Amino acid sequence: MALILRRTLAVFSILLTLSLTAAPAATPVVAQENLRYAAIVIDAESGEVMFARHADARRYPASITKVMTLYLVFEALEQGKIKLDDVIRVSPHAAGQPPSKLGLAAGQTITVEDAILATAIRSANDMAVALAEHVAGSHTRFAAMMTLKAEELGMTQTRYANANGLPDSRQLTSARDLALLCRALLRDFPQHYRFFGVNSWFYGGREYRNTNGLLNSGQGYDGIKTGFTNASGYNLAASAVRDGRRIITVVLGGRSTASRNEHVAELMTTGFEVASRRRGGERIEVAQTFFEQRGFGIGPEPAEGGVLYASLPGDSTAGSRAEPEDSDVRLVSAPAPRSDRTAELNRQPTPPPAAQRRPPARPAAPEGRWSVQVGAFRDETVARDWLDEVNRRFRSQFSGAERRVMSASGWWRSRFTGMTEEAARAACEALSARNVTCQVVRPD
């Protein structure tokens, strides 16, 4: 009996093993990098880039396109080519645009001023096209004018194919380009900028509310434009004024209206904190570092919690879904905190207490091959700008050094190389005395 029981258990064990082996292994869920995310924060008056993350990467602008559309409309107004009380007859092409839209039928009329309000507040795709046709005679010609104006404004990553931002794989921009456009809008047409800050508008017996939910936050927001398609994610170009200082923030690729607005608000608040500290006499030379010390732009975006960003769909074409109706350099460093911020910024482990250190004996390092690292960034442009800024401020310390931006594990390291150990240590001491983080790097 015992023998039979043992054989039965053995057979059961074999069958169980085979069933587990045959079953497909569960595929682990791996968080995808948020390929659509990009952001930039600039001082509207000086143009200083206070924070940048993937700012030059090409993205889909979605309905932020309409900022350029209205820029050209305002230009035509100032040149006397059109007037606010002009009456536009809606064409079949304009009437046929998908939502969001005002919904006028072909042949119906609307004034230029109401079409502007519909475009700025409701993000009406049909009215953006109606305005384009009124200014240029055809939608295609107007799109070409948009691209030419982008080139004129220095928007090097931007190309337009339509006036409303509906999906088109040819229509591309970057966060930096959109910030340039917003700044140009404020500079060139301050008398018309008011359209972007109108919270609600009555037309045809109906109230339309602005897609920019930050306008009601009481934090000084007065524009500018939201945007959404499946391919772009949730976009927002925002502008706010506090204590007489205006800051522009652009965030692209948000996963939802709420998370995008929250992230914009956090970036904006940090920008105003930099401005406030400077007014108080604090020397902040590179704002990017200040932002990174607040946790922005240092590592990968979180998959859960905090700010959630959109992930790129599997295909490479622009998505078909448009914005929902109800939806929506001179850079600087904060004072180093008491912890070892240099190690954290450069992704090195904080050194252990002296009693725990038992480094192996190392041969003497050759002279003239020491380096000073002054930062590590996810954005190559930021790394180069910061290296140039440090060189400008500490020219005497690095007179004989070579400037190099080195890539390693997704980080861009800003370094002065070709120095003696004595010169490297002296330079780092001079930087530390001015609250600029640095690290002496021994030759390999």
Distance CA 162, CA 167 (A): 9
Residue 83 among the catalytic residues: no
Structure tokens at 199: 């919270």
Supply φ then ψ for residue 421, to 5 degrees: -60, -45
Candidate list 13, 19, 46, 66, residue with the active-site label: 66
Angle of helix 139-152 relative to helix 65-78, nearest 10 degrees?
A: 90
Strand 200-203 to strand 38-43: parallel, antiparallel, or no bridges (unpaired)? Answer: unpaired
Is cis: bond before 407, omega within 30 of 0? no
Residue 320 among the catalytic residues: no
Structure tokens at 60: 């889909």
For 2, 219, 439, the CA distances from 194, given in Å and listed in that order, are 91, 17, 48
Distance CA 75, CA 82 (A): 9
Distance CA 114, CA 135 (A): 15
Structure tokens at 135: 């200014």
Task: State which H helix or E strand residue 375 sits in.
Answer: strand 370-377
Amino acid at position 61, single letter: P
Burial class (CB within 10 angstroms; exposed 0-12, middle 13-18, buried 19+) of 181: buried
Ramachandran sector of residue 243 (left: φ over 0; alpha: ψ -120 to 50; beta: rest): left
Amino acid at position 87, single letter: V
For 143, 346, 377, 378, 413, the CA distances from 406, given in Å and listed in that order, are 40, 12, 10, 11, 5
19 CB neighbour count, 10 Å cutoff: 9
- Paired strand residues for 224: 238
Amino acid at position 217, single letter: S
Strand 439-441 to strand 370-377: parallel, antiparallel, or no bridges (unpaired)? Answer: antiparallel
Distance CA 419, CA 422 (A): 8
Where do we find the tokens 């002065």?
Answer: 416
Structure tokens at 71: 């820029």
Residue 101 among the catalytic residues: no
| Contact call for residues 226 and 212 (beta carbons, < 8 A) | yes
Candidate list 100, 101, 123, 232, residue with the active-site label: 123
Query: What is the DSSP code (8-state) at residue 196?
Result: G
Task: State which H helix or E strand residue 263 sits in.
Answer: helix 257-279
Q: Which residues are catalytic?
A: 63, 66, 123
